[in-house]
Structure 1
């Protein structure tokens, strides 16, 4: 399978290096408007550098294009790749506006190419294991979930992250990870209520999601944290609690009432990070879906719904009210 990458920043480097590790995959081109950056990545993975997406699509002989550009550029690049007959792997969020996301999905359908969106949390081993535990009924009926995702402000390195009309801010760029994951685990979201603090140093949001199942999830996303990037997630059900906290451990912990156990008060399920990174697992999965013509773990609808919920979070911040998902179809600005 021949692949190419447009956008040679941090995520572009991750995609290109992952492809270089996957058997049967060849990187036939990388593209960036900054020629030096494209040349550096091309040298790293042994391919040709381009400064024009059109040139790369025409001359690299790629079958799949990874789009790792800033979020506000996703739409134009996806549609251009689709028109060229290339399957598309696009980083999350799919877009910053629902109308744009719908056009991207339709363009790929119309040109008979596949669209995959990189909601990579679905490929982190501890998150996969938590979903499996919940699906297996290990903690009974899901009641309440908590998730946080915090780190330094990426705008300190890439200034465009501070421009909400380009990045979508902390909600569309960071919280969207946990929005997608919670929907994957708990099902469709009925309503959201959110709060947001935003200045040059801090971009912090909290959101409460209520699901059709009556489960509730409280999400926290924070850019500007004075420490290392970390995540944590916890699910409480009628039969126990399951949690993972990367700031204290790389293990997944399942805790149940003592009465339900034969050996001690708690059950702990260790989860060690594997040799293959979640990004490599994700990209390998997408490539196999193209090769075998099968549906992905992350569908275009999933990416659209994650964006819809994220925009409802933004709308709740703007209005100070609970927002019902799907009830108000008006477009919402990320700012």
Structure 2
């Protein structure tokens, strides 16, 4: 399989490292507005540098485009790839507006190419174990869930993160991980109530979700946390409780290009010490799905649902009212 990468920042480098470790995958093209970033990725992959995206689509011979651009650009570049007949691997969030996400899904379906969105938490083994325990009934009826992720403000490294119109802010960019996981593990959400507080380099949000199965989930996301990136998950059911806290384990011990580090080029990306980290597992899975036509663990429709939940959180925080996600489809202004 031949892959081209658009966006050579932090996650573009993660994609490049993962692909170069796959013996049956070749990176044939890279493209980035910042030539130094493109050249760094080209040097490690042996790929050709393209200054023009459409030229890369036309001339590189790629089968797949890996999109690691700022979030507001995902829809445009994914649709252009689909129209060129290329499979699309796109970082989360799928887009910043629901109508753009739906267009990405429909364009990929129309042109017969796959759309694979990087909700990488589905590939973290501790989260997979929790999901399986819920599905197997080992925890009984799930009553309450607490989920949290926090880290330095990525806007200190890449300024676009600090602009909601470009990143979606802490909810659409960071909380969306847990919103996707909880939707995957617990099903449909019936209502959302949220609060958000922002200052120059602090962005904090908390949301209470009521699921149709009766579960209540409290979800927190924080940019600007001074103690380093960490995640927490606690699921309490009628038959037991399961907890995960990355600060009490060895699962998240490597910090790459932390945003608090002076002069850092890239936002903080959690890494893992094992040979095949979740990002590599995810990309390998997507490649195999493209090769075999198999159903991916996370679909484009899943990514659309995660975005709708994130937008419901944003709307609730802005209005101070409960939001019912099922009603969003009739409210174009919240999309």
What TM-score, normalized by structure 2, do the two folds share?
0.91
CA distance in structure 2 between the aligned counterparts of 1:17 and 1:143, rounded to whole angstroms: 40
Structure 1 gap ranges (5+): 252-271
Is residue 62 of structure 1 aligned with residue 69 of structure 2? no
Match of 1:264 in 2: none
Tell me if the contact between 1:89 and 1:115 (Cα under 8 Å) persists in the aligned partners.
yes
Match of 1:330 in 2: 331
Is residue 316 of structure 1 aligned with residue 316 of structure 2? yes
CA distance in structure 2 between the aligned counterparts of 1:157 and 1:68, rounded to whole angstroms: 16
Query: Would you identify which runs of 4 or more consecutive aligned residues in structure 1 move more than 4 Å?
Result: none
Match of 2:227 in 1: 227
SS at match of 1:38: helix
Match of 2:109 in 1: 109
SS at match of 1:247: helix
Tell me if the contact between 1:34 and 1:51 (Cα under 8 Å) persists in the aligned partners.
no
CA distance in structure 1 between the aligned counterparts of 2:92 and 2:227, rounded to whole angstroms: 24
Is residue 100 of structure 1 aligned with residue 100 of structure 2? yes
SS at match of 1:231: strand
Match of 1:209 in 2: 209
CA distance in structure 1 between the aligned counterparts of 2:137 and 2:93, rounded to whole angstroms: 31
Judged with a 3 Å threshold, the aligned counterparts in structure 2 of structure 1 residues 332 and 17 are, in CA distance, closer, same or farther, namely farther
Judged with a 3 Å threshold, the aligned counterparts in structure 2 of structure 1 residues 10 and 273 are, in CA distance, closer, same or farther, namely closer
Alignment map for 1:162-311 (pairs within 5 Å)? 162-250=162-250, 274-311=274-311
Shift of 1:23: 2.4
Matched length: 315
What TM-score, normalized by structure 1, do the two folds share?
0.91
SS at match of 1:323: coil
Shift of 1:75: 0.9
Structure 2 gap ranges (5+): 252-271
Match of 1:125 in 2: 125
Superposition CA RMSD, Å: 1.5
Is residue 141 of structure 1 aligned with residue 141 of structure 2? yes
SS at match of 2:29: strand
Shift of 1:250: 3.6
Q: Which has the larger radius of gyration?
A: 1
Match of 1:258 in 2: none
SS at match of 2:69: coil
Shift of 1:249: 1.7
Residue range with higher mean Cα deviation, 28-37 or 60-69: 28-37
Shift of 1:330: 2.0
